[in-house]
Every structure is written in structure tokens, then in C-alpha cells.
Structure 1
Amino acid sequence: MQNQASLQETKQHGAVRFPFNLYPCTIPGDFPQVALHWQESMELVFVKRGTGLVQVGAESCPARMGDIFIFTPGTLHALRQAEGQCMEYENIIFELELLGGAEDLCAEKYLLPLQSGRLSLPARLTPNDLCYLQAAACLREVEDANRAKLPGYELQVKGALLRFLALLLAQGRQRLAAETADTQRLKTLLQWLSAHYTEELRVADAAGVCSFSASHFMRWFRQMTGQSFVAFLNEYRLNAAAEALQATDETVLTIASRCGFENLSYFNRAFKAHFGTTPREYRKK
């Protein structure tokens, strides 16, 4: 499961010399959502069953069985539960350097521009897209090779991921990527939130980070994330608390206080409403 308490994810996926990993995930079975974040690696989400919601930048769309989402380095994204629904998906995360290094023509033309944001890919493939069957077959090959781990499986994984990227590039839907002022501002705010979520925060404090009035900030934040700032902050703190419950032996009271909750009774109620279980029961999972 990914570290949901970090808005810029820095977790090492796979081995240093083979930076690749695959995670089977379920929303809400494993967690109710993957909060808005970004990372410097490539991330693919292959929806296996059910439906959910995916946010890319400021845009949200339904995620349905068979859909493939492509998050290039630096792309803000989030995954959420659709009301009353469950979504199972494979999360494939790898560093672009896995596919080509220095003095490599492919790295120069494609991988480095993808890494730096000078080149982007379509954020979503559906079964209706022309290259879908071939692209999905590449990801299934990655899954099978990773599961079996036969001698040479690393070459299979690398080859299938290269073919997957080649298929996307061949569609001609890539474009020069340009991060907007709004997404840059949102990343700055999320970094600030990551550093200060344990403190008593007001809407005015967050608005000041963005140089907005409180009223303009509240409208802007909802437009960018689909949530109010207060609801987003509360979910962020709850996710941080859930991670601490599984990673430390600290008391529930200590964790609640450290994550910005001054009232233990309120924390317990909010936690159960969010995760469907009490903090103590969650710790035993």
C-alpha cells in the first residue's frame, strides 16, 4: 500500500537497480482513497473490477473495469471510491531510468522529456481506444512476469513497458506538457500542508499560502480538488493517523494528538466514519 500521508511520494519502489513494483489494490478494501499527490516515477493504474473515481490535475472522471490510467512524473492525481462501489486495480510503479540510461537515443528523445514534463502521454486508455488491446496485453505480460519471476523476468518487464510506451507515443496523442499556475500553486499548498497538518490550521492560513482571500481560496480549492479545504485536511489527518497506527506502537491518544486531533472522542468517531472501523480494530488488521 502506498504512503498516503506524503503528498509528494518519495517511497522507493522495487530495488535500487531495478526500480519497479506492482501492487494489487482495492478501494475501499485496502484504503478508502489514495489522496491527491504526485511523484517523480511513472505510475500506471489498470482497473480490474468495479468502478471508482480518478482525479488527474483538476479534472475527475469515472474509472471503469478495463481502463488504464497513466500518470507521468509530476502529475497530480488521486483515486477515490465511487459511492457504494468497489474498485480493484493493479498499481504499476517504475522509474523511467529503468527503461534507458545516459547516451541512449530513446532516453534522449522520449524518457528524459517525459521525466522533465516536456512531453506528456494520454492520461487514460479505455477499451474503445485503437491501441487498447495491445497496450493491455503489455500490462498483462508485466503482471505475469512479475508473478512468476522466472530467470530473465526483468527483461520481460522492461520490454513490455517499453512496448507499452511505444504504443502510446504511436497514437500521436502526446503533446508538449505545461504545468499551469494553478497546479503549481496547488503543489506548493500541498507541500505546506504536509509540513503543518499537525498544527491548528485555519482556512485563512491556507489562503495566505496561495495569496488568495479566504472566500476566493475556498472556491478555488473546491474547483481544483472536488472537496472543501476542511474536508481535505480532515481526510489527510485521518490517513496519517491510520498509517501511524500500523507503523508504530504509540497510543491512539498520542497518534490522534500528533495528527492534529485535540479531541479523542471526535477522532474516534471521524476515524470510524472514514474507515468503517475503530482505530484499535484498524491496528489489528
Structure 2
Amino acid sequence: MPRKKKPVIEYRHYSLPINFPVLLLSGERWRISDIKSEHLHFHNHLEIGICYSDGGIMEIKGESVPFKAGDVTVLPRYLPHTTYSSPGTASLWSYLFFSPEELFQPSLKSAYSTFEPNLWRIQGKNCILNKEQYPKVHALATSVVEELKQQNPYYQESAYGLLLSLYIELLRIHSTNETLTEQDTEHNLKGDFVISPALEYITKNYMAPITIDYLAELCHLSTTHFRRKFHEIMGTAPLDFLSSTRIEEACKQLKSTDASILSISEQAGFHSISSFNRSFSRLMGTSPKEWRKGAQSEAQSAKASILEFTGWV
């Protein structure tokens, strides 16, 4: 009997705008085909989607969950999924990407820490909130999208307040859901999602010394198995992913501050300026100094270069 073909999983990396770290993807381009993709994908930020028309199926870690117009989807980072519309239709969506701990830390202080680190445990039907049962979630999500699309005076302040209210509503909803037992969690971490703890740790601690052995231990894998599994899912080695994460953070600082290159390299986790310059040039194709000069133009993006370098979709 032939072995079941394993799904290909793609990592979609989004760089958020520096001045207001919320990314909106909206418009006619974001119609979802009725052809089921053979690839699952996941993101580096929390994704909130709004379905405006038609319906279909969302595959979430092997579970098929139906969606319809009016539904709001809440997909934690690092959760593999794919979406396809009902036969003969093309559902229309808007998507919001942001990292709650980055955006709301000043407002929520320690509150976000009780939710976001465990959000990747949410699966299946818990990711889809329908308009009838959760009208407030739908109203807040659509209002954020409209603010970001229209960009009226003070739209960022308004969008921030709406997003904060939306996030608090999600906190309330998921805090009342039955939490997974330790046994359930261990079961869910087996398979393609097993490297999630390592991704989460790198995202939050990229500036600190990190070893592959420690990342493997977080995932309850041997170092050899962890290396192989990480490369299989991410298309790159663990230390290359760590370096890319550090370089992207450095790009944000180079573009938005006047801090010295040495200071930025240290904040990003590099032990020496020569190591930083070497890694930066290899990844971005130019030196930090030259990139900073060109970064005054919005045409230059850390995201494009990093994605091209690593082969991530």
C-alpha cells in the first residue's frame, strides 16, 4: 500500500510597516480560488481574515472547517492552513496581519502574555468566528479594515483603538474556551507543527544567544531530527532563519532610527560588527551603510530580499 503523500508547507513571511505595524491585504486581488491547493502555509504574524462573499473550506492541520460570508478567521502565527472556495465561486477576503505583543505591549502590559504564546494551540473550528454568534468581532474587524483603507485624518489612532478592542474581545472569547490538556498539546505538537516552539522562541528572543541544541530541546527532538524537520518545513536551516530574523529587525532600526550600525548590530543579537556586516551583505546584497541610504525610499523592502534569499513563498 503506497504511503500517503505528505503535504508541502510554505512559510509566508510578512514585513510590517514600520510607522504603524499593521498590514492590510484587501481588494479584488484577494479572491480565493475554488481549486484546493496541495500546499499548506503559515505566517509569521497573527492573521485576521474577513470573508465578504460566498463560502468554502479552510484546511487547518488536517481538519476541514467550512466558512461562509460574514465569518472572521483568527489564525495564530505558525499554524499551517489553506483556504479554497466552494465549487464555481471565488470568495472575497480582507486580511490583517500584526503581532499583538509588539503592537499592544504598552497598553496591555502583561495581559498579552497570557494569550499570544498559547494562541498557536487553537485549532480547527475555534479559528472561525461567525457573524451571528460574534457580531462584535465582525463589526470591529470590518471597521479596522475600513479605517486602513480610507485613511482619513487620525486613522491610525482610530485603527489602533479598534484593533485593541478586537484583540481584547478575542482574549475574552478564547479565555472561556476549554484549554488543551498537556496530553492534547503533546499530540498536536507531533508532525509538521513540532517546530512551532522553536519559531516562537526565535521570534521573541532573536537578540539573545541561541543554540540549535536548545531549540531542539524546546521541540522535544534530537538535534539531528530537529535540523532535518526544520529544513523540511522552512526550506532553510535553523541558524539561517535566526540570522534572517535578526537582519530584518536590524533593517527596521536602520530605516527608522539614527542609531549607529554597531549599536543596531548588537541589539539584533550579533556578537561583532564584522559578523553583522557579513551576514547583512550576504542576505541583502549590500552593506548596512549602503542599505540605510537606499532605505529612505519606500521602494526598498527587507521582506523582498529576505524572501528571495531563503526561497520562502
TM-score when normalising by structure 2: 0.51
Quick one: structure 1 residues 159 and 120, their matched pair in 2 at CA, closer, same or farther if it must change by over 3 Å? farther
Partner of 2:161: 159
Task: In structure 1, give the amino acid aligned to 2:61.
Answer: G
Counterparts of 1:174 and 1:151 in 2: how far apart (Å)? Answer: 41
Deviation at 1:161, TM superposition (A): 1.3
Counterparts of 2:142 and 2:66 in 1: how far apart (Å)? Answer: 22
Task: In structure 1, give the amino acid aligned to 2:59.
Answer: Q
Matches within 5 A, 1:7-86: 7-13=10-16, 15-24=17-26, 25-28=30-33, 33=37, 35-86=39-90
Counterparts of 1:175 and 1:81 in 2: how far apart (Å)? Answer: 30
Counterparts of 2:107 and 2:62 in 1: how far apart (Å)? Answer: 34
Unaligned residue ranges in structure 1 (runs of 5+): 197-246, 248-258, 260-285
Deviation at 1:87, TM superposition (A): 0.8
8 Å CA contact retained: 2:9, 2:233: no
Quick one: structure 1 residues 34 and 94, their matched pair in 2 at CA, closer, same or farther if it must change by over 3 Å? farther
Partner of 2:261: none
Residue in structure 2 matching 1:182, options 167, 191, 195: 191
Quick one: structure 1 residues 34 and 9, their matched pair in 2 at CA, closer, same or farther if it must change by over 3 Å? farther
Deviation at 1:118, TM superposition (A): 6.0
Partner of 2:223: none
Tell whether 2:99 aligns with 1:99: no
Counterparts of 1:174 and 1:43 in 2: how far apart (Å)? Answer: 22
Quick one: structure 1 residues 6 and 159, their matched pair in 2 at CA, closer, same or farther if it must change by over 3 Å? farther
Matches within 5 A, 1:102-141: 104=106, 106-109=108-111, 111-117=112-118, 122-129=126-133, 132-141=134-143
8 Å CA contact retained: 1:73, 1:117: no
Unaligned residue ranges in structure 2 (runs of 5+): 1-7, 197-227, 237-303, 305-310
8 Å CA contact retained: 1:7, 1:191: no
Deviation at 1:153, TM superposition (A): 1.1
* Partner deviation per Cα, 1:64-123 (whole Å, 9 max, x = no partner): 11111100122222112332222111111112234323xx472422x2344423676631
Partner of 1:168: 170
Counterparts of 2:37 and 2:166 in 1: how far apart (Å)? Answer: 27
Task: In structure 2, give the amino acid aligned to 1:138.
Answer: L
8 Å CA contact retained: 1:114, 1:120: no
* Partner deviation per Cα, 1:153-178 (whole Å, 9 max, x = no partner): 11111111111122222231263583
Task: Give the root-mean-square deviation of aligned CA atoms.
Answer: 3.3
Matches within 5 A, 1:128-277: 128-129=132-133, 132-171=134-173, 172-173=176-177, 175=179, 178=185, 179-185=188-194, 191-192=231-232, 195=235
8 Å CA contact retained: 1:27, 1:33: no
Counterparts of 2:81 and 2:128 in 1: how far apart (Å)? Answer: 12
